[in-house]
Amino acid sequence: MTAVHQFVPTLAPRDAVGGHYLAVQETLRAAGYRSDIYSYEAKDEYKRLARPFTSFDGDARAAPTWLLYHSSVGSPVADFVAAREEPLIVDYHNITPAPFFSRWEPALAGALMKGRRQLAELETRAELGLADSAFNAQELTELGYRRTSVVPILLDVAALDSAPPDPATLERLSGAKNAGGIDWLFVGRLAPNKAQHDLVKAFAAYRRLYDERARLHLVGASSSHQYEMALSAFVDALGLADAVDITGPVSAGALTAYFETADVYVVASEHEGFCVPLLEAMHHRVPIVAYSAAAVPETLGAAGLLLEAKDPYTIATAVHCVATDAGVRTQLVEAGTERLRAFDIDKSKRKLLEAIEPVVGTP
């Protein structure tokens, strides 16, 4: 029996990529491949799902054995798979370019640079490069990867309904909404490349031009303490502390509550390799306004108002249009529902097998 074992830097719950690893394992096993997960670290309830990567010493029960490495920031796992003899597949979820972090978190910038160096070095070993998006596949091609396939992240959108809205969060958000004003939402780690500071600028312009009762919710853990501090100070200095909610990490139920009360999902990111929260917004029927950068236009398709300019007035005006034109809002929501079908998990699982089977052979 052929084995395709996954090697990952970190396996963590409540993480889209973590869910992807598990869905890949389920898909491979269902197709008849042997498939285990080896990681540098596994967190919380996922600890029992992965083995330490250093414990892998070949798979005597499988012939042949393939390694599937999920590329990320600089990791000893990359060096480990590079040194192994088994044939290799690289799954690339994108690595944020280091310059986004160099002024904020120099150490993290170093880790990102190392991750990209490792990705480039694995090119000579990789028989196949998988990528979440054509944008990511293009980066692999530029690094010299000869054979690439686009396989969207395996996200079970239906599972998003398994977490009902957290009652306390829902009550708080609904209470604020009753006082008037619309709710802007962005979900993603606080990070310079996600440009939450540009969202705050656009939000400030929106309040000045259109609706001074509006609120902005920035949901997600932080990738940079420095950036988080600067963002908070910026919000305070603008006098928007009561209107901008920087939540930190939230539970699945609280996240559902944020989506259910949002009037518009707004993205100002400079760099995204896929942007999973766009799919979550589509699922929760929240209209999307997004700056057209990196993989965002590819993931969004026609399911959002895609802007070439990201100055505060343009974003604010686009949000105002979505907030006040019921026809546009409805059309965007319907387009989102339609777009979501392209990322149906069963369809993506088939794409994964169609990409892998010609390379590794049948189970």
* Cβ(92)–Cβ(140) below 8 Å: yes
The tokens for 246 are 């920087």
Look-up: residue for tokens 């059309």? 331
Q: Which helix (H) or strand (E) holds 69?
A: strand 65-71
CB of 92 to another protein, least distance (A): 16
CB of 184 to another protein, least distance (A): 16
What one-character-per-residue DSSP string does 117-168 give?
A: HHHHHGGGTEEEEEESSHHHHHHHHHTT-S-EEE------GGGGGGSPPPHH
Residues forming contacts to another protein in the complex (CB under 8 A) are 99, 102-104, 197, 200-201, 204-205, 208, 226, 229-231, 233-234, 237-238, 248, 270, 292-294, 302, 304-309, 311-314, 317-318, 321, 326-328, 330-332, 334-335
- Identity of the residue, 91 or 139, whose beta carbon is nearer to another protein in the bound complex: 139
Indicate the Cα dihedral angle 299, 302, 306, 308, nearest 10°.
Answer: 90
DSSP code, position 71: E
Least CB distance to another protein at residue 291 (A): 9
Contacts for 45 with CB less than 8 Å, ≥ 6 apart: 13
Residue 303 C-beta: closest distance to another protein, Å: 9
Could you tell me the smallest distance in angstroms from the CB atom of residue 282 to another protein?
14
Task: Specify the residue, 317 or 351, whose C-beta has the smaller distance to another protein.
Answer: 317
